Amino acid sequence: MTVPNEAATSIRTPHLLIALKDATLSGFVAFGLFFFLIGLRSEQGSTGALEISTRFQTLALLVAAVFAGTFLRTLAFGRGPIPIAGAVPASVTDFLASAGRFAAPALLIFALLVPVLFYQNRYLLDLGILVLTYVMLGWGLNIVVGLAGLLDLGYVAFYAVGAYSYALLATHFQLSFWICLPLAGILAAFWGILLGFPVLRLRGDYLAIVTLAFGEIIRLVLLNWQSLTGGPNGISSIPRPSFFGLPFTEAEGSFASTFGLEYSATHRVVFLFYLILALALLTNWVTIRLRRLPIGRAWEAMREDEIACRSLGINTTTTKLTAFAIGAMFAGFAGSFFATRQGFISPESFTFGESALVLAIVVLGGMGSQLGVAIAALVMLGGFELFREFQLYRMLVFGGAMVLIMVWRPRGLVSTREPSLRLDDGKAAAQDAK
């Protein structure tokens, strides 16, 4: 995005006095903001009544930190916006851009090798599956938010539709995973169209809040429709996946015995890993193909300027609807994978927090960038596994990151956009081969 001109023209006088003044002001503001929420804390005592306790030390530390932070910021950058474009040297951005060409294949090879390298490490394999699930969700939402520019805050609803579709179809009708998977995708897409058809005419921010409401409606219905969904208890003993009909058990005719392997519980985990990797790669492949097709270009054009699209004869309603439905379909796939992997689902897995997490991944990764989304998912989920003791701070950091990214790099961390086609056919062919 364009950096406001002020950046260049603002008076860059890093006076000590100004910095001190700003810092004092910020300190006071921080004190006001934090005194009653951090300095004091209400807690239910042994009698059940609320008691108040103080944490003035923490408060003092925080206020001091805000003071120091503002002081240093004003001293270093003045009052204008921080010139972030200059803060990252061009050589670094260039390096990142060129590294991007290698990063994607490198990441892919690494992902393929994870089960081989970490065969013994069940924990890492599970983490890998989790990350890949979010990569897939991120790529799916990227179609809606990143390409088409539609802010969908209820994406998790389609994930839930997929998960419950699989769970119900598999437990009631004994349908196999491979039949349920497309069905779940179709059902989720169907719900996407059902919701999208009336609401996609709305302006962008209305759409956001309607999808948010829709997500909550789905969750509340799942929670309260006890007879179908089991309510808060969810659905358990969902059939686990089989290797194209060969179950991962010790019994005769199982995967292990058929291939003459010694039974190991890891087989299933490895299979799940490759399954979600394949699903994620499918999402990626379809997205990349679609971007080079008229529909994909219309999505991006719509993100840039909807009115101009209409003036060119593009039916924006159906264009939005396809983005919405395709995004929902991939969420449905991911949902049914989630259900078969967990073996148990409940409405608790489909809260607004999940939608927000996936959105954060897309936003941080750089809207529209496939690689960026994958890296963001890896960093955010992997990073928080590394720092487990800070689990509580996870969403706080996500929220903070969303605000910071919007202020500093609205197009996300990876913001270079590859054109969908070039004039020179030779070059275009080279693009295709990549």
Partner 1 sequence: MSAGPDTAPSPGPILRVDHLSMRFGGLVAVADLSFTARRGDITALIGPNGAGKTTVFNCITGFYKPSAGRIRLEHPDGSAYLLERLLNFRVSKVARVARTFQNIRLFAGMTVLENLVVAQHNALMKASGFTFAGLIGLKVYRDAERTALDKARYWLDRTGLLPRADDSAGALAYGEQRRLEIARAMCTDPVLLCLDEPAAGLNARESAELNALLQFIRREHAISILLIEHDMSVVMEISDHIVVLDYGVKIADGTPEAIRNDPKVIAAYLGVEDDEIEIAEAEAGL
Partner 2 sequence: MEYFVQQLIIGVTLGSIYGLIAIGYTMVYGIIGMINFAHGDVFMVGGFIALTAFLALLAIGVTSIPLALFLVLLIAMALTALYGWAVERIAYRPLRHSYRLAPLISAIGMSIILQNFVQIAQGARVKPLPPIITGGHRVMSSEGYDVDISNIQIIVVLTTLVLMLGFSWLVAKTRLGRDMRACEQDLKMASLLGVNIDRTISLTFVIGAALASVAGIMYLLYYGVIDFYIGFVAGVKAFTAAVLGGIGSLPGAMLGGLLIGLIETFWSAYFSIEYKDVAAFSILIVVLIFLPTGILGRPEVEKV
Applying CB under 8 A, which residues contact partner 2?
A: 1, 4, 29, 32-33, 35-38, 40-44, 48-52, 81, 145, 149, 151, 153, 198-199, 202, 204-206, 208-210, 212-214, 216-217, 220-221, 223-224, 307, 352, 356, 359-360, 363, 367, 392-393, 395-396, 398-403, 406-407, 410
If you search the block for the tokens 């979010």, which residue do you land on? 134
Q: Distance (Å, rounded) from C-alpha 385 to C-alpha 405?
A: 22
Phi (first) and psi of residue 47, to 5 degrees = -80, -10
Q: How far is the CB of 317 from partner 2 (least distance, A)?
A: 13
| Residue 312 interacting partner from partner 2, partner 1, none (CB closer than 5 to 8 Å by kind) | partner 1
204 binds partner 1 (CB under 8 A): no
Which string of DSSP letters, residue by residue, matches 258-277? HTTPPP-THHHHHHHHHHHH
Q: Distance (Å, rounded) from C-alpha 144 to C-alpha 314?
A: 17
156 binds partner 1 (CB under 8 A): no
Token digits of residue 378? 């890896």
Q: How far is the CB of 368 from partner 1 (least distance, A)?
A: 9
Q: Distance (Å, rounded) from C-alpha 276 to C-alpha 284?
A: 12
CB 52 within 8 A of CB 42: yes
Token digits of residue 109? 């090879």
5 binds partner 1 (CB under 8 A): no
| Residue 251 interacting partner from partner 2, partner 1, none (CB closer than 5 to 8 Å by kind) | none
243 bridge partner residues: 246
Q: How far is the CB of 362 from partner 2 (least distance, A)?
A: 9
50 binds partner 1 (CB under 8 A): no
Taking the CA atoms of the chain, what radius of gyration do you get in angstroms?
A: 25
3 state DSSP class of 421: coil
Site for partner 1 in 402-421 (CB under 8 A): 417, 419-421
262 binds partner 1 (CB under 8 A): no
431 binds partner 1 (CB under 8 A): no
Site for partner 1 in 313-372 (CB under 8 A): 313-316, 322
From 56-64, 105-113, 210-218, 292-300, give the range in contact with partner 1 by CB under 8 A.
292-300
| Residue 425 interacting partner from partner 2, partner 1, none (CB closer than 5 to 8 Å by kind) | partner 1
Q: How far is the CB of 50 from partner 2 (least distance, A)?
A: 6
Q: Which is nearer to partner 1, 262 or 425 (CB)?
A: 425
3 state DSSP class of 51: strand
Token digits of residue 130? 């989790």
Residue 340: count of CB within 10 angstroms of its CB: 23
Q: Distance (Å, rounded) from C-alpha 414 to C-alpha 434?
A: 19
| Residue 221 interacting partner from partner 1, partner 2, none (CB closer than 5 to 8 Å by kind) | partner 2
Q: How far is the CB of 315 from partner 2 (least distance, A)?
A: 17
Q: Which is nearer to partner 2, 76 or 407 (CB)?
A: 407
Q: Which amino acid is at 64?
A: A
From 17-25, 228-236, 252-260, 294-302, give the range in contact with partner 1 by CB under 8 A.
294-302
Q: Distance (Å, rounded) from C-alpha 110 to C-alpha 213?
A: 39
Sequence-separated (6 or more) residues with CB below 8 Å from residue 59: 31, 34, 35, 38, 39
293 binds partner 1 (CB under 8 A): yes
Q: How far is the CB of 335 from partner 2 (least distance, A)?
A: 21
Sequence-separated (6 or more) residues with CB below 8 Å from residue 241: 177, 248, 268, 271, 272, 275, 340, 341
Q: Which is nearer to partner 2, 32 or 105 (CB)?
A: 32
Phi (first) and psi of residue 42, to 5 degrees = -95, 140
The residues of the shown chain that bind partner 1, judged by CB under 8 A, are 286, 289-290, 293-295, 297-298, 300-301, 303-305, 307-316, 322, 417, 419-423, 425
